[in-house]
Structures are given as C-alpha cells and as structure tokens.
Amino acid sequence: MCSIFGIFGLQPGDDVATLRRQSLELSQRQRHRGPDWSGIHHDAGAILVHERLAIVDPAGGSQPLRSADGAQVLAVNGEIYNHRELKAELREDYAFQTGSDCEVINALYREDAPASFLNRLNGIFAFALWDAARRRVLIARDPIGVVPLYWGHDREGRLCVASEMKALAPVCADVAQFPPGHWYEWSVDDDGRARGELQRYYERPWRDYAAVEGVRVPAQELREAFEAAVHRQLMTDVPYGVLLSGGLDSSLVAAVAARYARRRIEDDDASEAWWPRLHSFAIGLEGSPDLAAAEVAAKMLGTVHHGFTYTLQEGLDALPEVVRHIETYDVTTIRASTPMYLLARRIKAMGVKMVLSGEGSDEIFGGYLYFHKAPDAREFHEELVRKLDALHNYDCLRANKSMMAWGVEPRVPFLDREFLDVAMRMDAAHKMVRRGDTGPQRMEKGVLREAFDGYLPESILWRQKEQFSDGVGYGWIDGLKAHAEGQVSDRELAAADRRFPVNPPQTKEAYHYRTLFEQFYPGAACAETVPGGKSIACSSPAAIAWDASFAAMADPSGRAVAGVHAQALGSP
C-alpha cells in the first residue's frame, strides 16, 4: 500500500515545471504511506506522483506503472489479491513491465469498460489511470473504501486526487472524499472544456433484504469462505503479522492465518514461506483486558506474540499527531486510533510491513451491542447495510491511516469481496440475538462463533464485544475525558456552535479534538469530510428507533450502553 497524487487537465499555457515541483512537495506530505521509493510521471496533460510501500515485488514494481507503449500511466494505492487469476483470463496479450499485482489494471482497462473490470477486482485499492492518447483519467476506489482517496479542484479548475486530505487541503478549497465503490472518468476536449461522470459500480443483490430473506448459509460454507479470504490476503513478499486484541474478530483472523503461514501464497503453497513464523501484536495500558486476552489466544495459536504497553501520558502526547494523520475529529475514531498509532510504530521498528486486522465483522454480523434491540430481521439487515456504507469514515479510516502513519499496511479479510457476498446473503434472522424464551440462546455474532467452534479457546470464542478503545484499558477513556476537561472551558463549549458551525461538538472531549483538527485542516470543506463528528453506535437513527434511551447517550464508549451490557447473553 502506498500513496498517490495527481493533477489532471493541464493546458498548453500551464507552467508544467512549477506544477511538477508543487506536486512533489504536496505528495511528500503523505510519504509516510510509502517510504520505500518515489516516482513521478508528467506530460502535457497530467502529473502523477507515487510514494511506494513495497509489499509485492519489492525489487521491481515501482510506480507510476506505464504500459509498454506509454499509452497508459497508472498510480495505485492498494493490493489486487486475484491478480494472477485476472492475468490468466486476459483475452489479449499484454506486455507486463513489472511483477506488481496492480499492473493488471492497465491490461484490464484496454479490454473492458470500467464498470465491468472493476467488478472483477478482489482487493483494496484507490487509483488514477491516465490515458494520455485520449487525455482522459479514470479514478476508482474499492467497494467498501478500505483505502482512502480524496479529490478536489485547484484554483485553476484542474482536477486533483490524493490518498490523504493533507496533500490537497493547501490547494483545493472543495476537497472531499471520493466515494467508495465508484469510478469517475474525466477528460478535457480540444476547446479546454472538462467533462466528467461519476458512477457507482459496486451494487450487490444482498443490499435488498428481499434478496436474502429465507436464505441460510451453512456454517461450513461461512467458515471456508473466510479461510479463503485470509489465505488470499497473505499475499506478500515482506515480513507480516496479525493484530491480536484477544477479541473474537482479531483472534479468528490470527487463527486462520496461523494455518497458512508456513507456505508461500504466491506459488499456490508449493514452497515454504519466506517468513514462516507468524507474529502477533497487541497494545494496551498496563493490566488492560485486551493484553490479557491476547496472551491467551496467542498461546493457544502458537504465534510469536508481542504485547506492548503504553502510558496515559504517552497517549495524550500523541493526540495532535494522531489527528493530523487520521484526518478526523470523530471521538470514537480518535480514542481507538491513538493506541493503534502507537502500536504501528512498534511494529514498524520490528521490520514488519503488513498486518492482518479484524475490522468489518461487527458491520457484517451485527456485533455492536445496540443490535440486541433490533425488532426484526429486516431492520437488522438494513442497518448492517447502512453500517457497511459508512465504514470508510470510521473503522477503515482508523485502521488504514493509523497504521500507514508508520508505513505498515493493514489488510481486512472480513471485508474481502467474496467473503462479503457469502456472509451478507444470509438472512439476518440467523444473525440476530435470540433469548431463551423464543429459542436457543445466542449472543451477538453467534452464527460466526458457531462456524468456528474449536478454532479458539471458549473464553475467546465467546468473549463479549468490547470497543477497542475500551479494551486497551478503561483508564484510557477516563484519562482522555479528564484531559479534555483541563483544555476546554464551560464557556467555550457553550459557544461551540458559533466557532464550529459544521458539526458543532457536544462534549469537551469532542471540542478538544475539533480544535486539534482545525489546526491542521481549517475551512468548511475539510470539516465536512467528517460526517457528524461522532460515530456513537447508539446514535444511529435505527438504534434510537429501536430504543429511545439511546438518543440521550453522548458517550461513545461501549460501557455507556449499560442496559445492553446487562442483558447480554452468554454462550449457548
């Protein structure tokens, strides 16, 4: 995973040399994402800059990736897990210039329409492909938005794209997120007029509950689909590991990865892996629940485990840099990003460049505790779809930007395209919590736990959901609140809507984060890239409709959902 930066729509009178230098300077703002090498392409119509984190084909594969005839120039941030299958399916010969998994996009572009070939990619990606002959650029982002992408226009109206907002904020007054699951084709005609079209390519039948009602997915099929997803995502030529909090999701990822770690994925498991020992990583305050649970899981799985501690002061000291890197003022995201950011630095110091993580499971299986209140399967399913649509603003953003701040690539098997199609075509009736008086007892994500019976110790397999920011140690959230009390006065909070008319903060903690965000990203456009400014699970319209008491909860900590915790079910 890397970073990209591009300017498109250059005109004959433009000072290309100055724009090239400016592009390099702006791209440097996101070089933490790609510290291994830099590449640039420029011509009369476009400039593309790439900062590379070498994961596949580290000796080659530098970008931008040019076709042999120079007709296409491609800058990609991401991984294409099925690149070998796609290469084998090409109808025409294509002269590949590198061993990069991403170069197949150039070949597919020549053979097929964007909507068609984008739906064949299984991976996480954001890219800009410049077709110099047609003076046309194709921009696209992966279906869920695991990889970040921003766009806007500079003062001269030229189209700009970048992996992170920090590279565009200085030059684009209209900076915004590029929507996941979409592609945009933009060109300039001979008269200098720009034309663009944004289209959604990722549409799945399971978005409509009517398409999944009554569908049962056998436990074996669910398990095998997830095993295949983890296996695919072990594609790497560099040392890697797994994030292991000791909760269900990260432990399942680690358990499956441990089964495949000894063989090399890139040659169909024919040879021994270059790094056959699986390393796992966890972080928390001294005595945190996650550290203890991770030790249990690691011992059972046989990973080489590394549990790190941090202090409250170390976390507080990191807050400004965390906000600068993750580009949000969302309370839950910052709480969880800070320990993850500190962990990424430790992982980087050990020479590891890629990790597997457990994001996405809660959005697929209804793991958040307010799902206990869902009145029926239809509403449960519709809320899952809404959560998946918003994931790029929260957990995906946190995992990607926190880890990539130190050049560590996170991969998320639960959000694998093929696994999603299996897990989401299941009737949500099978995902719902069931109570003793209406059927067998089942806690949240029971269908997932049952599918992996025997994979993990019972204490891990049936451990109740806890937010990452809670699991690293309850003193962490309490310390953040106390710190904010000393930074923000009552008077400042009372006038928050005047200082911050876009998404005014409701608590002192939120106000403090908003102040930090404004230092790096001033202006309404930057503020509007953060939806609402608080990812309080219980404040979703569905949650409030299910239980009106959720509307009064201003604290996004899982502990705030006390009533749901009290009613949580044990193992069946």
Bridge pairing between strands 46-52 and 65-66: unpaired
Whole-angstrom Cα distance, residue 363 to residue 489?
36
Encode burial over 121-158: b for 16+ CB neighbours within 10 A, e otherwise. bbbbbbbbbbbbeebbbbbbbbbbbbbbbbbbbbeeeb
| Sign of the torsion formed by the C-alpha atoms of 557, 563, 566 and 571 | negative
Q: Give the catalytic positions in this structure.
A: 2
Angle, alpha carbons 434-394-6 (nearest 5°): 145
CB contact set of 261 (below 8 Å; sequence gap of 6+): 234, 273, 276, 277, 278
CA 408 to chain centre: 13
Number of CB atoms found within 10 A of residue 540's CB: 18
Cβ atoms 352, 241 nearer than 8 A: yes
DSSP 3: E
Consecutive H or E run containing 250: helix 248-260
270 sits in the region (left: phi over 0; alpha: psi -120 to 50; else beta) called alpha
492: closest CA among 476, 514, 517, 477?
514
277: closest CA among 351, 205, 184?
351
Strand partners, 446: none
Cβ atoms 283, 308 nearer than 8 A: yes
Sheet order of strands, 304-309 included: 304-309, 279-284, 240-243, 354-356, 409-411
Alpha helices (runs of H) in 79-212, residue ranges in sequence order: 83-88, 104-111, 114-118, 209-212
Q: Which two tokens stand for residue 8?
A: 């498109």
CA atoms within a 13 Å half-sphere pointing along the CA-CB vector of 491: 0
Consecutive H or E run containing 312: helix 312-326
Whole-angstrom Cα distance, residue 28 to residue 167?
8
Angle, alpha carbons 452-457-461 (nearest 5°): 50
Strand partners, 74: 65, 129
* Coarse DSSP helix, strand, coil percentages of the chain, rounded to the nearest 5 percent: 45, 15, 40
